[in-house]
Every structure is written in structure tokens, then in C-alpha cells.
């Protein structure tokens, strides 16, 4: 089985961060995650269900099968979905590389913030394409840490972000994968591919994004790798801490923060 080490970790704190991320980015990344009535949709790598609850609620006339490798995440996602009274989602533990479904089972497939963690994202996309019916749509959403810029600029903040990029690379992933969505969807053999960049621009006139994105999504993610980055000798503790302080500094009244997500669509012919 594929090495499944996952840089962001499975902690309770990471579950909170993923939920903050999903709630904050709902409009930016899911405004067009709309499926035709009665669609059967596979959500691959649903984690604790942070995106699941958004797409399932937006598409009450579709049914979702949401899978993840982690039993713990599936259990947590099930608890959350039940507590919200959502009834159009089935959750199942499964590996994206070896899906327990027949060819052409699903009308659509959606995968969000997962390819960046995989050793072989194209193999995963091909397996997802296998279970997609002809004429069905694949949606892939990824970030790209290389798209981050902010004011005030800070060498240490950029170094701290680079630690995340390095760690993810060491674990076989790629946190700059957003820019590769188009070529990856093409290599998968999909047609009618289109990729749209979704920039999150934050200044203090958008207090919800200051809290939800700069602090609780992005900086929380970088802060979460502090110990591992120092232990692996990628950075010293003082530089990392200054970098985190400078990232929080961008959330002050004169600060600005930009990050771009990429959303790709492709059709199986």
C-alpha cells in the first residue's frame, strides 16, 4: 500500500483547522460545486468531513459516497454528518489507489486537498477516472504554497512556509501542486479540462477572512509543523518562531495576505 504519512497530522487540532478552512473558503472554492439532480458523487479523501458537509448540503438532490484511508477520520466524519442531520452521505474507509467500486459507478468525482499528499497523484486520478462514468465530471481542488505573498513581507515567514514545502516533499507530497492541476488532469486522459485560480485576498476590511484564513487556516497549518521542522534540522527554533510571529503580523490592521487555490474540471469521454 502507498506510504500514507500525512504531513498535517490527524490531530484534533488539525480537524478543527480543516473545518475552519472549509467554512472560510466555502464561497471561493465551492460556489460552483453543484451536481445535476440525482447524481451519485464520489468524494475522495474526505478526512473529517469538512468539505463533505458543505457539498452535501449544497446538493440535497444528489447522493455522496465519501471515502478516506483513515478509519479515525471516517468515524469523526460520520459523527459530524449524523449530528448535522445530513442524510445524503455514505462514509466508507477505502484507499484512493484501490477503490472498492466497479468501473463507471459514479456520475462525478470530487477530490479536495488530497493530491498534494500523494506520492503518485496521477495514478490516483486514473483510479478515480476508472470509477467515473463516461460523460461524468471530475473536480480537483488544490492549494499552492508558492502562491503565498503578504505585507509586511518577512524573510523568516517565507522560511517557515518553506519548511512546510520541504517537509511535504520529504514525505512524498507536493504543496505547490495547484499549478500542476492542468497537466495532471491532461495526463489522466480527461477531456474538456478547465482550471480556474481562486485567489484569497485578505486585508482588515474582511475580518472574517483575517480570522478564518490568515490565522486559523494558513498560519495554524504552518505553526503545526514547528516541532517536526526543527527536529529535522530544516530551520532553527528562533527563526521559525519569528516567522510565525510575522505571519500573525499580517493579520493586523495594515496587513495584507494573498493565497491562490486552483480548481480543475475534466470530463471522461
Which residues of the chain form contacts with ligand SAM (CB under 6 A)? 2, 4, 6, 8, 18, 22, 45-47, 50-51, 68-70, 73, 95-97, 112-114, 117-118
Query: Is 224 in a helix, a strand, or coil?
Result: coil
Nearer to ligand SAM, 18 or 185 (CB): 18
Nearer to ligand SAM, 156 or 164 (CB): 164
Nearer to ligand SAM, 22 or 131 (CB): 22
Residue owning grid cell 483510479: 127
Nearer to ligand SAM, 22 or 220 (CB): 22
How far lies 211's CA from each of 53, 99, 216, in Å?
21, 37, 6
Nearer to ligand SAM, 22 or 200 (CB): 22
Q: Name which of 62, 143, 70 is nearest 109 in CA terms.
A: 62
- Closest separation in Å from C-beta 217 to ligand SAM: 11
Nearest-angstrom CA–CA distance, 99 and 156: 42
- Closest separation in Å from C-beta 114 to ligand SAM: 4
36 and 8 Cβ atoms separated by less than 8 Å: no
- Closest separation in Å from C-beta 112 to ligand SAM: 4
Nearest-angstrom CA–CA distance, 60 and 268: 24
- Closest separation in Å from C-beta 42 to ligand SAM: 11
Query: Is 50 in a helix, a strand, or coil?
Result: coil
- Closest separation in Å from C-beta 126 to ligand SAM: 13
Nearest-angstrom CA–CA distance, 141 and 100: 23
Residue nearest ligand SAM, Cβ-based: 47
Amino acid at each position: 500500500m502507498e506510504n500514507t504519512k500525512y504531513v498535517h497530522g490527524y490531530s484534533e487540532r488539525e480537524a478543527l483547522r480543516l473545518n475552519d478552512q472549509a467554512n472560510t473558503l466555502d464561497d471561493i472554492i465551492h460556489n460552483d460545486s453543484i451536481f445535476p439532480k440525482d447524481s451519485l458523487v464520489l468524494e475522495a479523501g474526505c478526512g473529517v468531513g469538512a468539505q463533505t458537509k458543505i457539498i452535501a448540503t449544497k446538493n440535497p438532490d444528489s447522493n455522496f459516497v465519501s471515502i478516506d484511508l483513515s478509519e479515525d477520520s471516517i468515524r469523526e466524519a460520520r459523527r459530524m454528518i449524523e449530528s448535522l442531520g445530513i442524510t445524503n452521505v455514505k462514509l466508507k474507509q477505502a484507499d484512493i489507489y484501490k477503490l472498492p467500486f466497479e468501473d463507471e459507478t459514479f456520475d462525478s468525482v470530487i477530490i479536495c486537498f488530497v493530491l498534494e499528499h500523494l506520492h503518485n497523484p496521477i495514478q490516483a486520478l486514473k483510479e478515480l477516472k476508472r470509477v467515473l462514468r463516461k460523460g461524468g465530471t471530475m473536480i480537483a481542488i488544490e492549494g499552492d504554497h508558492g502562491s503565498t505573498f503578504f505585507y509586511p513581507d518577512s524573510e523568516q515567514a517565507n522560511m517557515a512556509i518553506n519548511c512546510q514545502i520541504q517537509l511535504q516533499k520529504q514525505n512524498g507530497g507536493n504543496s505547490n501542486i495547484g499549478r500542476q492541476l492542468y497537466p495532471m488532469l491532461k495526463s489522466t486522459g480527461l477531456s474538456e479540462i478547465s482550471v480556474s485560480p481562486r485567489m484569497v485576498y485578505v486585508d482588515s476590511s474582511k475580518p472574517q477572512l483575517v480570522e478564518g484564513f490568515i490565522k486559523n487556516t494558513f498560519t495554524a497549518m504552518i505553526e503545526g509543523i514547528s516541532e517536526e521542522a526543527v527536529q529535522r534540522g530544516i530551520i532553527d527554533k528562533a527563526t521559525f518562531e519569528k516567522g510565525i510571529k510575522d505571519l500573525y503580523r499580517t493579520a493586523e490592521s495594515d496587513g495584507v495576505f494573498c493565497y491562490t487555490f486552483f480548481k480543475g474540471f475534466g470530463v471522461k469521454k
